[in-house]
Structure 1
Amino acid sequence: MGERADSGERSDGRMLGIGLVSGVVGGLLGGGNGVLTVPALDHYTTMSRPRVHGTSTLAATWVCVAGALVYWLVGGTIDLRAGSGMIVGGMIGGFYGAKLVARASETLLRVLLSVILVLTAAKLYLDAAGLDPAQGGAVVPARLLATPWFVVPAAVVVGIVVGAWAGAMGLGGGLLAVPALVLLFGVDLHTAAGTSLLVFGPNSLVGGLSHLRQGTASFRIAMLLGMAAAPGAVAGALLALALGNVVLGLVFGTFALVMAVREVVLLLRRRRAAVAAPG
């Protein structure tokens, strides 16, 4: 009896630790905390993969709400034009796009993500060195970005794609939302991070509740993760706001490169396993 209690306490403490670290990452980088939460839950629990993704999605709501509030109240760095469109698109993508994207091969999804992450890292590194051809701006012409009729529909489309990818891969939308905001809409990293968290708050909540209804999420574990992730997200967001754009760009660029390498390594491992499998 005592051993089981001790085991449960250690398990709860581990979940709180995972939540805290993932919250700091999510607040600092505008999302992407699922990159830590999903593999950690897969390693330390016996939950099925769909239940791991659902639990991570529900827990991410805490990160999004806490982090977005800090960016809004402390830094005022929220792009409502692009953000409102991406919220709508993200919810559509979360509901319907995941099924469509899931039909594509996992290899294609991971290759596309790796390419986007490498391009984002390259732009941020060039911008930090003062060598960015776009001079820190967007790749989209400025005259188009000045017109709401382009920005809002474009943001809805981007939100659908990002929401669908997040639903298919279960790693959170910040990995794509932040690069999209920087590359397509020309916002600075602080604004991109705050807007990304704002965008995926409703998406995570709706997706998490859907997972709960269909039994693919653990409410208890999600709450443990979320309670620790919220203060972690506050700390991460405050740290991001304290850093200059150049330093934050180097941090996010390095993170993007590490994630790109991770995706490539996973692809190679799965291909080798497929070749080695009998038949």
Structure 2
Amino acid sequence: MWEPYKKGYKAWLQLERSLSDNSVEAYLRDIDRLTQYLQSTGALKTPDAVELSDLQQFVQWIADLGLNAASQARILSGIRSFYKYCFIEQIVRKDPTALLESPKLKRALPDVLSFDEIESIISRIDLSKPEGGRNKAILETMYSCGLRVSEVVNLRISCLYLDAGYIRVIGKGDKERLVPIGEAAVKYIRIYQQEIRTHIAVKPGNEDILFLNRRGSKLTRVMIFLFLRDLAHQAGITKNISPHTFRHSFATHLVEGGADLRAVQEMLGHESITTTEIYTHLDREYLRETLHRYHPAFRH
């Protein structure tokens, strides 16, 4: 009964929203959960028959399944997206999600590395090994440009304008942006290209990919996660570290240094400024912690 709607919605996500296959699958899973719930009530209503009260009970149902607030909110954003599609396509006359409240999220602030900690991690790389030179170039680029891990593994040689001090990055939804790149990153990319990459037998189809594994193929995101975690461990850093930590630290250091939020949004490739605004919250959180720690009036 819902299949034709799901089919239309899938095509809309792919064509209108230009989402990746993974994102499309995640959105469709949210709709599957809703239909699963409606079936469990014994009345699989069509999208236009679903009311706000049905969705409120659905929220309770997913909460009872043990999903945390963040997971609930993510599922609801999928349901909202579906009803936006239904409204545009005139499948429904009114959007039942309009007054639906999301569970209150306590925004967990991810760990941020200080500049010294980043230097300490990078200094643990063994440069006597070929992958060491590559990994140094990767981490310098990630911190210099604030790249997502998917952006660094897909970075193309044809997108490097190192003499001009820029790289072209293809981000989420195939959106392109030009990002300035620092001197250290430029230096280590050049060393990697000239002294390491030239000795690798490149697999067909990977000729333009900058960072390669020993077999001449594109790196996986997991490989970067693993070597970064290993380096952090060697550096004695106990924070929860992932490749995203470098991007997160890049943005936090910019905002703390007084950078304009619009400029940070542009460099990170955030579609919405509200996503970038988390860094101002981080900054305020840091200020509050500092006051609590050092200001006599704030001490208990």
Shorter-chain TM-score above 0.5: no
TM normalised by structure 1 equals 0.26
Higher RCO (CA 8 Å, separation ≥ 6 residues): 1
Return the structure number with greater helix share.
1
Larger radius of gyration: 2
- TM-score, with structure 2 as normaliser: 0.24
